[in-house]
Chain A
Amino acid sequence: MEISGWGNYPKLDVRLDEPIESAGIMAALGQVVASGQVIARGAGRSYGDSSLSRHVVSSRFMDNFIDFDAERGLLSCASGATLEQVLDFSVPRGWLIPVLPGTRFISIGGAIASDIHGKNHHRDGCFSNFVESFTLLLASGEIVRCSRDSNRPLFEASCGGMGLTGIILTATLQLEKISSAYIKQQIFPAANLDAIFDLFEQRCADKYSVAWIDCLAKGQARGRSVLFAGEQADQGGLENRRRITLSAPPVFPAALINRVSIGAFNRLYYRLQARGRGPATRHYQDYFFPLDWIRGWNRLYGKKGFIQYQFVVPQDSARETIEQVLTEIADQGKGSFLSVLKKMGPENTNPLSFPLEGYTLALDFKLEKSLFPLLDRLDSMVVDSGGRLYLTKDARMSKEIFTRSYPRLDEFRRIKAEVDPESLFGSMQSRRLGLSD
């Protein structure tokens, strides 16, 4: 069966097992030998080739809840459960997942394997900060419990480890007490790159912050942005909302996504947001997951798909590098509707975790031949300034760029060699990056 990540690039013909029981995973693992390597896949929301391999074991039907401690806000569930399933259950009970990415359609297993970050990274860090423990199925067939107290090296290597240490079966999460399902939002327009960086530095104390950036604006307006700052509201109730969702058409002509349409959209969007509005209260689903209302938005980039390019650069070189990157993109006339800029907090101790203290920028690019040389040039700018790319979005980075930018790679390799000496777990991405042979 041919599958791909969320970016619809690359595609791979795979053997896909979708068991409803961990027993089914064990059975599938027993048959890997013939096909080489296997990789776990959750909701299939990583963008590139992280969850592609000749043999793929999906956890998406293993989504049962195991236990909920309503006093302490501890939820145990199978790894295929999605953030949506957890939030639908926990929010009406007054508990929120403390780290939320831009979509609620990802799996808990995927959130751990990607060590995802959210709009509060500068204050609260990554998803792994709120993972009490998880159970991991190793290449040997053994199931081990990993937490900060037991098997800590394996715990840290698996958080952000892209599924290369084993298959996460269940997890226990620490949820965050809330008294409202709403977020108090403040919108700040920024006329250019300097203005948005100043804003981010001023708004450090806000719990949530994220900025949309117009990646095609040039000259004085280069880097014009809109910052969305947020705080937990304490009123409005705890109800989950059910809004009608739109669905992207099954086939969409990618030619409609071009410099002209993106430029027009960006100008209009900026003008609408920059009109300046006072603080507003928004439901958490609208604040955190604006794109979830368009099902299958990835199809808008056409059959060939797209690449989401997300990098982080350290604080001291951030302004300079991001300006350099934006100039290069605007000069090439490439660009995306939703480019996102965010200030990040300090890095954690997980060897492959993406964030580091500085700024991250995420951009969508429609797939076309001329894109690859551009991204190679951006890679050099990012890595030369001490930054790195997010593996969960990556589909094309070179082994050399990867090796230069993840300094704790050897530590990860050592742990992987210990628990998976024959490299049973591997993906297209891990082979490309030399993470599994």
Chain B
Amino acid sequence: MQDSANKAAGILIIGASSAIARATARLYAAQGCRLHLIARNPESLRKTADDLTVRGASAVTLSTLDVNDFDRHEEVLQQALQTLGTVDLALICHGSLPDQRASEADFELARHEINTNGLSVISLLTVLSTHFMKQASGTIAVVTSVAGDRGRQSNYVYGSVKAMVSTYLQGLRGRLRPFHVNVLDIRPGFVDSPMTAHLQKGPLWSSPQRIGKIIVRSVSRGRHTVYAPAYWALIMFIVRSIPEALFKRIKL
């Protein structure tokens, strides 16, 4: 990915220690991009930075941030944006998979998950959108989930937060369009990552590497909503088409 001045593209990744973020960052590193990584754990960040440097990134810079520390969002992002100069892509990848049962009974737990997966993303997008508007180019990409397409009894805390982010992105997309900024919503299905380590895997599962490739391709093609892999578009179409009267009886 090269910008018009033929300088290496600048990529900002939030939640850079997530498996999908790492896989995506490696692909950009191999293209010689400049990367700025934001994540909570400094040790893990440093390792990721070494990895990306070995793989060919022309520069890797870092900031540590706990996304639930909302007060620091503005400061950390401004510093990151300044370091990178032109930002061709801002990718938000962080997230957690709530324990649905526990968060049904404990609102504090639910609130924490909503903050991590939803409100923190919206707070970060608020800062980013202002910057991208001024810059008048680039892509903002957010990893959401197919879980946001319909509230299922097995996973509706997570699903509803992801739905909030997806709906927010739809509005933001329209707002930033006149400024030549693309807003990309990546909706992965089951991904075999540390976040899902405790779940039994099956044929519908994909690797973070596969999702990473889809992200890179979707960014360069200027897509807006991408199911990853594409067969999830069909699965979720069917899931959305089931009448609610029936759906509420399905243990899904």
Contacts and interface: CB of A to CB of B under 8 A. Distances in A.
Contacts of B22: 64
Contact of B51 (A16, A18, A19, A64): A64
A64 B50 contact: yes
B41 A1 contact: no
Contact of B50 (A1, A16, A21, A65): A65
B92 to A, nearest CB: 19
Interface in A7-24: 16-21, 23
Contacts of B143: none
Contacts of A21: 41, 43-44, 47
A78 B203 CA distance: 28
Interface stretch (B112-120, B177-185, B190-198, B225-233): B190-198
B50 A61 contact: no
Interface in B101-158: none
The majority secondary structure among interface residues of chain A is mixed
A65 B41 contact: no
B19 A66 contact: no
Contacts of B43: 21, 23
Interface in B1-58: 17, 19, 22, 41, 43-44, 47-48, 50-51, 54-55
A371 to B, nearest CB: 28
Contacts of B198: 1
B37 to A, nearest CB: 13
Given A18-B197, A19-B194, A20-B44, A67 B50 contact: yes
A20 B17 contact: yes
A372 interface: no
A68 interface: yes
B55 A66 contact: no
A65 B55 contact: yes
Given A21-B43, A21-B44, A66 B194 contact: no
B220 interface: no
B197 A16 contact: yes
B55 A61 contact: no
A252 interface: no
Nearest to A81: B51
A89 B54 CA distance: 9
A407 interface: no
B203 A250 contact: yes
A65 B50 CA distance: 7
Contacts of B19: 20, 61
B51 A20 contact: no
B200 interface: yes
A16 B54 CA distance: 30
Given A21-B43, A250-B203, A67 B54 contact: yes
A16 B193 CA distance: 13
Contacts of B51: 64-66
B194 A61 contact: yes
A212 B69 CA distance: 61
Interface string A1-41: 11000000000000011111101000000000000000000
Size bin of chain A's contact surface:
10 to 19
Contacts of A61: 19, 193-194
A88 to B, nearest CB: 9
Nearest to B22: A64
A64 B54 CA distance: 10
A1 to B, nearest CB: 6
Contacts of B54: 65-68, 89
Interface string A54-66: 0000000100111
A78 B54 CA distance: 13
B193 A66 contact: no
Nearest to B198: A1
Interface in B37-93: 41, 43-44, 47-48, 50-51, 54-55
Contacts of B55: 65, 89
A425 B193 CA distance: 25
Contacts of A16: 197
Question: Which interface residue of A61, A64, A250 has the most chain B CB atoms within 10 A?
Answer: A64
B47 A64 contact: yes
B203 A1 contact: no
Nearest to B204: A250
A89 B29 CA distance: 11
A89 B56 CA distance: 10
Contacts of A23: 43
Nearest to A84: B209
A78 B43 CA distance: 14
A61 B195 CA distance: 11
A78 B51 CA distance: 10
Contacts of B193: 61
A2 B201 CA distance: 10
Interface in B194-226: 194, 197-198, 200, 202-203
A216 B193 CA distance: 43
Given A61-B19, A61-B193, A89-B55, A1 B44 contact: no
Q: What 7 pairs across the A-B complex have the smallest Cβ distances?
A: A64-B51, A18-B197, A65-B54, A250-B203, A68-B54, A65-B51, A20-B194
Given A16-B197, A20-B19, 18 more contacts: A1-B198, A1-B200, A17-B197, A18-B194, A20-B194, A21-B43, A21-B44, A23-B43, A61-B193, A64-B47, A64-B51, A65-B50, A65-B55, A66-B50, A66-B54, A67-B50, A78-B47, A89-B55
5 contacts: A20-B19, A21-B41, A21-B43, A89-B55, A250-B203
